[in-house]
Amino acid sequence: MYKSDSSLLEVKGIGEKSLKLYQKLGLFTVGDLMHYYPKGYERFEGPKKIKELIPGETAAVTCRIVSSPSARKTSRLSILTVNAADDTGMIGFTFFNMPFLSKLFKPGMVFVFRGTVQTKGPSFLMEQPKFYSPDEYQKISGMLMPRYSLTKGLTNQAIQKALKTIWKDYSFEEEWLPEDLLQEAAIPEAEPALYEIHFPQEEESALLARRRLVFEEFFTFLLQLRKNKDDAATIPNEWPMIETADTVRYVDALPFRLTKGQKQAWQEIRQDLEGPQCMNRLIQGDVGSGKTIVAFLALLMTVANGYQGALMAPTEVLAVQHFENVKKDVEKYGLAFKPVLLVGSMTAKEKKLQYEKIASGEANLIIGTHALIQEKVTYHKLALVVTDEQHRFGVRQRETFAGKGLQPHVLVMSATPIPRTLAIILYGDLQISLIKDMPVGRLPIKNCVVNTHFRPKAYEFIANQISQGHQAYVICPQVEEGELDDAENVVDYAEKLRAALPHSVVVEYLHGKMKPADKNRIMEDFALKNIDVLVSTTVIEVGINVPNATVMMVENAERFGLAQLHQLRGRVGRGEAQSYCIFISTNESKETMKRLEILNASNDGFFIASEDLKLRGPGDLFGIRQSGEFAFRIGDVYADAELLKLTSEMVDDLIKKDPGLDHPEHARLKAHLSLGNANSVDFRTI
Ligand code: ADP
Ligand code: MG
Query: Could you tell me the distance, in angstroms and rounded to a whole number, from the CA of residue 334 to the centre of ligand 1?
Result: 20
477 confidence band (pLDDT: 50, 70, 90): confident
Same-domain pairing of 74 and 103: yes
The average pLDDT across 636-650 equals: 90
Domain for residue 93, yes or no?
Answer: yes
292 Cβ closer than 6 Å to some ligand 1 atom: yes
Domain for residue 440, yes or no?
Answer: no
Same-domain pairing of 307 and 404: yes
- In testing the pocket of ligand 1, which one of 264, 291, 292 has its CB within 8 Å of the most ligand atoms? 292
Interacting residues of 488 by C-beta distance below 8 A, sequence separation 6+: 476, 477, 478, 555, 556
432 exposure class (CB count in 10 Å sphere: 0-12, 13-18, 19+): middle
Which residue's CA is the nearest one to ligand 1's atom 23? 258
The average pLDDT across 232-254 equals: 89
For 364-399, the pLDDT digits (tens) are: 999 998 766 666 788 999 999 998 876 655 555 556
Ligand closest to 256 (CA) is 1
479 confidence band (pLDDT: 50, 70, 90): confident
For 248-257, the pLDDT digits (tens) are: 999 999 999 9
Range from 186-200, 554-568, 669-683 that averages highest in pLDDT: 186-200
Total of domains in the chain: 3
Same-domain pairing of 470 and 341: no
Domain for residue 156, yes or no?
Answer: no
Q: What is the pLDDT of residue 628?
A: 53
Same-domain pairing of 577 and 484: yes
408 Cβ closer than 6 Å to some ligand 1 atom: no
* Domain around 481: 446-602
Q: What is the pLDDT of residue 416?
A: 81
Q: What is the pLDDT of residue 372?
A: 67
Q: What is the pTM of this model?
A: 0.76
Same-domain pairing of 466 and 411: no
Same-domain pairing of 351 and 373: yes
Domain for residue 684, yes or no?
Answer: no
Query: Could you tell me the distance, in angstroms and rounded to a whole number, from the CA of residue 427 to the centre of ligand 2?
Result: 19
Query: Could you tell me the distance, in angstroms and rounded to a whole number, from the CA of residue 578 to the centre of ligand 1?
Result: 16
Domain for residue 20, yes or no?
Answer: no
Domain for residue 478, yes or no?
Answer: yes
Same-domain pairing of 332 and 262: yes
The average pLDDT across 4-8 equals: 93
Domain boundary among 407, 435, 463: 435
Distance separating alpha carbons of residues 273 and 545, to the nearest angstrom: 28
Neighbours of ion ligand 2 (CB under 5 A): 543
Distance separating alpha carbons of residues 98 and 79, to the nearest angstrom: 8
Q: What is the pLDDT of residue 42?
A: 83
Domain boundary among 541, 571, 602: 602
Q: What is the pLDDT of residue 346?
A: 87
Query: Could you tell me the distance, in angstroms and rounded to a whole number, from the CA of residue 322 to the centre of ligand 2?
Result: 9
The average pLDDT across 138-150 equals: 87
Burial per residue of 103-120, b for 16 or more beta-carbon CB atoms within 10 angstroms, e otherwise: eebeeeeebbbbbbbbbe
pLDDT tops 90 at residue 559:
no
686 confidence band (pLDDT: 50, 70, 90): very low
For 406-440, the pLDDT digits (tens) are: 789 989 898 888 888 888 888 777 789 999 999 98
Query: Could you tell me the distance, in angstroms and rounded to a whole number, from the CA of residue 683 to the centre of ligand 2?
Result: 20
For 159-209, the pLDDT digits (tens) are: 999 999 999 999 888 899 999 999 999 999 999 999 999 999 988 999 999
Ligand closest to 290 (CA) is 1
Same-domain pairing of 594 and 480: yes
Proportion of the chain above pLDDT 90, given as a percent: 54
Least confident range from 100-114, 310-324, 583-597, 628-642: namely 628-642
Average per-residue pLDDT for the chain:
87
Residue 230, helix vs strand vs coil: coil
Domain for residue 238, yes or no?
Answer: yes
